[in-house]
């Protein structure tokens, strides 16, 4: 089978799912004129107008056969739990030699489905590390991917041309690619993305409980709690799907974190000053290594409740 | 004993400890001309010049007798673990009828020491809920207190005039006062300030461990982890003192948080979708109640490591 090695500029890119992620990708490609045409696949015909009006696609609609059949690159941007099924259902519409990727946050079941694709479809798992707490085309922005890391996970159906096309796509939208295997991707996501979310959630549960008989708990909340609990405002359906689709790694990482918190508890109980200082020092060093430039921060709590005005 | 009921504008304010907190308070009072004179007490004579140059005090030095003897209001802004001892040591220098307060983050031992003061000293515990990860006069700023909540904890030696003077001080520097008892203050601080710090620290410990055999852990770190781990960069000596001086409440709150994380673990193990969704939903509702305006956030991870540039 002939492999059409079109560059991105001559490619038709079809995006399935025009929410925050898919819509933002469409906008970035449309705005920069980086590909021949952007086509958007939506669930309901009524959504097509908003997608075209937002300049997230040149054409949009629900007719998968028409919108996918001529695509050189198909991007699955639907919720992570739906992607595996989508891969199976769209297979008949994909033309031989076309490239398929996705934007799902966890990769094991998706890459597994991509491995099984037939008909010379070139498939590469993808995960741009960016997002917002809000969702939908109304939250989409062409700059969403700027500066973000974009993980690429090769499958049995990955060919050099597919990787090259995606590296070009990632580059033009301002992201940075990193090719990695599925196991280490999913394990890392559980650690750096899901665990911070679960910590935020647990923090809010404690505040809720402690606030029941102490009104000053909520009153004293300031920037530290605000930043640490930001992720608790994330989309629940999305986070539930990310957890469900990566349960093994999430459970393992959660257990690790319980161990570390219990270690902290023992250091307190034993009044082990040296041990506590070492623990805090190592954490600070890891933080400074990870984020040497720190973070632009409020110096007080503008987000604190204003109960006493 | 006559009680000199001077308003703040006619008061001499002496601040002991001219670091981030004391220096910022001095700057705010100096800049606004809110009091008659600001006097700064430093540890080493060599620090006095920087304090005066930063306009954090009109005069500064190490001579406590001279700098405190004429003060109408004395503010203890030294590290939290030193305040109890400071209260005892400065007592001989304080004039009868003067007001004493402090800026310490935990209050039980401080309020206890204030309770025992003699010689008609008016004493009120204080805790402005603001700060920075950086410390010292070089980090001080006159706007540090703007919008912050400032807890006031009455002692046995609190008189109306002392509270009034502090309410005026809090108001002119742009903060909001909240009067509360020591028990609920220290319990709330453990929950909304120390626990988020310990969670940040535990997160960094897990990342450090998981990153040892998976280089993608650090590579995938983005804005979620960055915000959730910001507090791990805090001053270790300061945090250790805050923990030490409030160990009982911190241990209790840490236990509560372990329970909640274990609850999450059980929901995952049991594949209890309904239970998990309820847990996430309650946390999101608490977060939206606490911080209805959300938080200005980066949409991707500009703070992520640039290993692959």
- Residues B205 and B285 reside in one and the same domain: yes
Q: What is the pLDDT of residue B109?
A: 96
Sheet holding A122-128, edge to edge: A59-61, A37-41, A12-16, A73-76, A99-102, A122-128, A149-154, A176-179
Whether A40 maps to a domain, the answer reads: yes
Q: Which residue has the tokens 């009067």?
A: B179
Q: What is the mean pLDDT of chain B?
A: 92
Question: Where is B231: in which H helix or E strand?
Answer: none
Q: Which residue of B has its CA nearest to A221?
A: B192
Q: Do A193 and B224 make contact, defined as CB atoms within 8 angstroms? A: yes
Q: Are B223 and B145 in contact (CB under 8 A)?
A: no
Q: What is the pLDDT of residue A304?
A: 36
- Residues A167 and A193 reside in one and the same domain: no
Whether B300 maps to a domain, the answer reads: no
Q: Do A204 and B308 make contact, defined as CB atoms within 8 angstroms? A: no
Q: Which residue has the tokens 């946390």?
A: B283
Does the structure show a pLDDT above 50 at B304? no
Nearest to B253 among A206, A229, A247 (CB): A206
How many C-beta atoms surround the C-beta of residue A308 within 10 A?
10
Whether A307 maps to a domain, the answer reads: no
Whether A49 maps to a domain, the answer reads: yes
Q: Which residue of A has its CA nearest to B278?
A: A236
Name residues whose C-beta falls within 8 Å of residue A271's C-beta, 6 or more positions apart in sequence. B247
DSSP codes, B113-173: HHHT--SS-EEEEEEE----SS-SGGG--TTTTTT-EEEEEE-TT--HHHHHHHHHHHHHT
Residue A233 sits at the vertex; the CA angle it makes with A232 and A234, to the nearest 5 degrees, is: 90
How many C-beta atoms surround the C-beta of residue A213 within 10 A?
9
Q: What is the pLDDT of residue B298?
A: 40
**Per-residue 3-state assignment (H helix, E strand, C coil) for chain A:** CCCCCCCHHHCEEEEECCCHHHHHHHHHHHHHCCCCEEEEECCCCHHHHHHHHCCCCCEEECCHHHHHHCCCEEEECCCHHHHHHHHHHHHHHCCCCCEEEECCCCCHHHHHHHHCCCCCCEEEEEEECCCCCCCCHHHCCCCCCCCCEEEEEECCCCCHHHHHHHHHHHHHCCCEEEECCHHHHHHHHHHHHHHHHHHHHHHHHHHHHHCCCCCHHHHCCCHHHHHHCHHHHCCHHHHHHHHHCCHHHHHHHHHHHHHHHHHHHHHHHCCCHHHHHHHHHHHHHHHHHHCCCCCCCCCCCCCCCCCCC
Backbone angles phi, psi at B95, to 5 degrees: -80, 150
Q: Do A224 and B264 make contact, defined as CB atoms within 8 angstroms? A: no
Task: Give Dmax over CA atoms of chain A in angstroms.
Answer: 72
Contacts B226 to A, Cβ<8 Å: 290-291, 295
Question: Where is B212: in which H helix or E strand?
Answer: none
Q: Do B202 and A264 make contact, defined as CB atoms within 8 angstroms? A: yes
- Residues B54 and B101 reside in one and the same domain: yes
Measure B148 CA to nearest chain A CA, in Å: 6
Whether B92 maps to a domain, the answer reads: yes
Backbone angles phi, psi at A128, to 5 degrees: -75, 125
Write the CATH number for A242.
1.10.3660.10
- Residues B86 and B140 reside in one and the same domain: yes
Quote the CA–CA distance of A141 and A68 in Å, as a whole number. Answer: 23
Q: What is the pLDDT of residue A4?
A: 58
Range of the domain at A20: 8-180
Does the structure show a pLDDT above 80 at A64? yes
Segment B243-268, tens digit of pLDDT: 999 999 999 999 999 999 999 999 99
Q: Are A112 and A85 in contact (CB under 8 A)?
A: no
How many C-beta atoms surround the C-beta of residue A285 within 10 A?
14
Q: What is the pLDDT of residue B38?
A: 98
Nearest to A308 among B178, B265, B281 (CB): B178
- Residues B155 and B87 reside in one and the same domain: yes
Backbone angles phi, psi at B37, to 5 degrees: -160, 145
Q: Do B301 and A130 make contact, defined as CB atoms within 8 angstroms? A: yes
Least confident of A11-25, A70-84, A290-304, B245-259: A290-304
Quote the CA–CA distance of B224 and A131 in Å, as a whole number. Answer: 9
Q: Do A268 and B251 make contact, defined as CB atoms within 8 angstroms? A: yes
pLDDT band for position B173 (50/70/90)? Answer: very high
Whether A3 maps to a domain, the answer reads: no
Least confident of A120-134, A154-168, B292-306: B292-306
Q: Which residue has the tokens 């945090």?
A: B239
- Parallel, antiparallel, or unpaired: how do β-strands B99-102 and B122-128 relate? parallel
CB pairs under 8 A between A and B: 410
- Residues A164 and A56 reside in one and the same domain: yes
Q: Are A219 and B178 in contact (CB under 8 A)?
A: yes
Contacts A264 to B, Cβ<8 Å: 198, 201-202, 254
- Residues A221 and A92 reside in one and the same domain: no
Question: Where is B8: in which H helix or E strand?
Answer: none
pLDDT band for position B295 (50/70/90)? Answer: low
Give the mean model confidence (pLDDT) for residues A32-37.
98
Reading the block at residue B56, the tokens are 């954090």
Write the CATH number for B51.
3.40.50.720
- Residues B64 and B139 reside in one and the same domain: yes
Helix and strand element counts for chain B (H, E): 13, 8
Contacts A146 to B, Cβ<8 Å: 300
Name residues whose C-beta falls within 8 Å of residue B181's C-beta, 6 or more positions apart in sequence. B153, B154
Domains contained in chain A, number: 2
Quote the CA–CA distance of A238 and A125 in Å, as a whole number. Answer: 18
CA distances from B257 to A277, B242, B252 (A): 21, 18, 9
Whether A302 maps to a domain, the answer reads: no
- Residues A95 and A37 reside in one and the same domain: yes
Reading the block at residue A45, the tokens are 């015909």
Nearest to A232 among B149, B221, B284 (CB): B284
Q: Which residue of B has its CA nearest to A274?
A: B240
Q: Which of B277, B274, B31, B279 is nearest to B144 (CA)?
A: B31
Q: Do A187 and B210 make contact, defined as CB atoms within 8 angstroms? A: yes
- Residues A71 and A156 reside in one and the same domain: yes
Quote the CA–CA distance of B237 and A281 in Å, as a whole number. Answer: 10
pLDDT band for position A222 (50/70/90)? Answer: confident
Percentage with pLDDT > 70 across chain B: 94
- Residues A142 and A38 reside in one and the same domain: yes
Contacts B262 to A, Cβ<8 Å: 258
Decide which of B140, B163, B180 is a domain's last residue: B180
pLDDT band for position B4 (50/70/90)? Answer: low
Whether B3 maps to a domain, the answer reads: no
Handedness of CA A201, A206, A207, A208 (dihedral sign): positive
- Residues A173 and A200 reside in one and the same domain: no
Q: What is the mean pLDDT of chain A?
A: 92
pTM value > 0.80? yes
């Amino acid at each position: 089978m002939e492999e059409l090695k079109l560059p991105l500029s001559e490619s038709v890119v079809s995006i399935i799912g025009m929410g925050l992620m898919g819509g933002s990708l469409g906008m970035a490609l449309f705005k920069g004129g980086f590909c021949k045409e952007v086509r958007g696949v939506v669930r309901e015909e009524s959504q097509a107008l908003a997608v075209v009006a937002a300049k997230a696609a040149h054409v949009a609609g629900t007719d998968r056969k028409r919108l996918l059949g001529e695509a050189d690159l198909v991007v699955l941007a639907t919720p992570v739990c739906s992607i595996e099924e989508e891969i199976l259902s769209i297979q008949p519409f994909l033309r031989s030699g076309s490239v398929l990727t996705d934007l799902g946050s966890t990769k094991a079941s998706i890459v597994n489905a991509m491995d099984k694709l037939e008909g010379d479809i070139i498939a590469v798992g993808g995960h741009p590390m960016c997002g917002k707490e809000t969702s939908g085309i109304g939250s989409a922005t062409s700059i969403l991917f700027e500066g973000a890391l974009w993980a690429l996970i090769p499958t049995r159906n990955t060919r050099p041309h597919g990787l090259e096309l995606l590296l070009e796509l990632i580059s033009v939208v301002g992201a940075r690619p990193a090719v990695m295997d599925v196991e280490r991707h999913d394990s890392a996501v559980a650690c750096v993305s899901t665990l911070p979310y679960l910590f935020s959630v647990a923090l809010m549960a404690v505040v809720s409980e402690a606030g029941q008989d102490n009104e000053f708990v909520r009153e004293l909340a300031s920037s530290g709690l605000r930043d640490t609990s930001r992720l608790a405002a994330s989309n629940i359906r999305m986070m539930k799907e990310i957890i469900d689709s990566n349960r093994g790694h999430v459970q393992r990482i959660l257990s690790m974190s319980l161990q570390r918190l219990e270690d902290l508890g023992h250091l307190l109980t034993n009044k082990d000053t040296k041990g506590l200082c070492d623990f805090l020092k190592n954490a600070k060093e890891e933080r400074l290594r990870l984020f040497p430039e720190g973070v632009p921060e409020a110096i007080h709590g503008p987000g604190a409740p204003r109960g006493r005005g």
